[in-house]
Amino acid sequence: MARRLVAGNWKMHGLGADLAEVAAVAAAPAAGCEVLLCLPATLLHRGAALAQGRIALGGQDCHRAGQGAHTGDISAAMLADAGATHVILGHSERRADHAETDAMVAAKAQAAQGAGLVAVVCLGETLGDRDAGRTLEVVAAQLAGSVPEGVDLARLVLAYEPVWAIGTGRTPTEAQIAEVHGALRAGLAARFGAAAADVPLLYGGSVKPGNAAAIFAVPDVDGALVGGASLKAAEFLAIVGALAGR
């Protein structure tokens, strides 16, 4: 049975004053599920001091190389050194804004696991893909290309985020989420066997306190990757509570 996880992605938000939200989340540990906040790299070290191991912290990207002449980039080892245990990879915003391919995501996932981090690999279709009936084809191709050979399944999380639902207030129907998550679970099983059942499958895309419980009731949904609602502890903890209470 996959472990349950609620992850927050702060994206390019957050200054030192906002660390109070990290402290508030860490002060309310949830029974029955893991809690993760993926902060800007500038806040990770200070955030780790506040989290004190009660919640996990993660980065939002890493370079595929361990070190080198890559001005402005950050390695997986640097994230771990700053206090991260996880890193988000292949988010649709990175794929679109930085032209990241599946192969690049796979290389980053390999680097992340090499540094001891859990790789949170994001997958998801555009509205054009959805309207063309290509959702399962697109997500299957991303799964095949973005998860590297030899991956450590114990340090892998998959997050399904339909691009058209991120930050828009729109969400797929529960049946649509179930279809994609079921296909992801089947795809993992076909590739990795029974051990794939332990890999958490998160749903992301306009997850809010008001819709979290319904999303968590969908088969093969083991948690959520939360964007805007993770910036305020009260909203994020309400989502955590919806999963922890199941």
Residues serving a catalytic function are 91, 161
Amino acid (one-letter) located at 71: T
Phi-psi sector, 151: left (phi>0), alpha (psi -120 to 50), beta? beta
**Where in the chain does DSSP place strands (E)?**
5-9, 34-38, 56-59, 86-89, 118-123, 156-160, 201-204, 223-226
**Where in 74-221 does DSSP place strands (E)?**
86-89, 118-123, 156-160, 201-204
The answer to whether residues 227 and 16 touch, using CB atoms and an 8 Å cutoff, is: no
> In angstroms, rounded to a whole number, what is the distance separating the alpha carbons of residues 34 and 225?
12
Residues forming a β-bridge with 119? 87, 156
The answer to whether residues 61 and 88 touch, using CB atoms and an 8 Å cutoff, is: yes
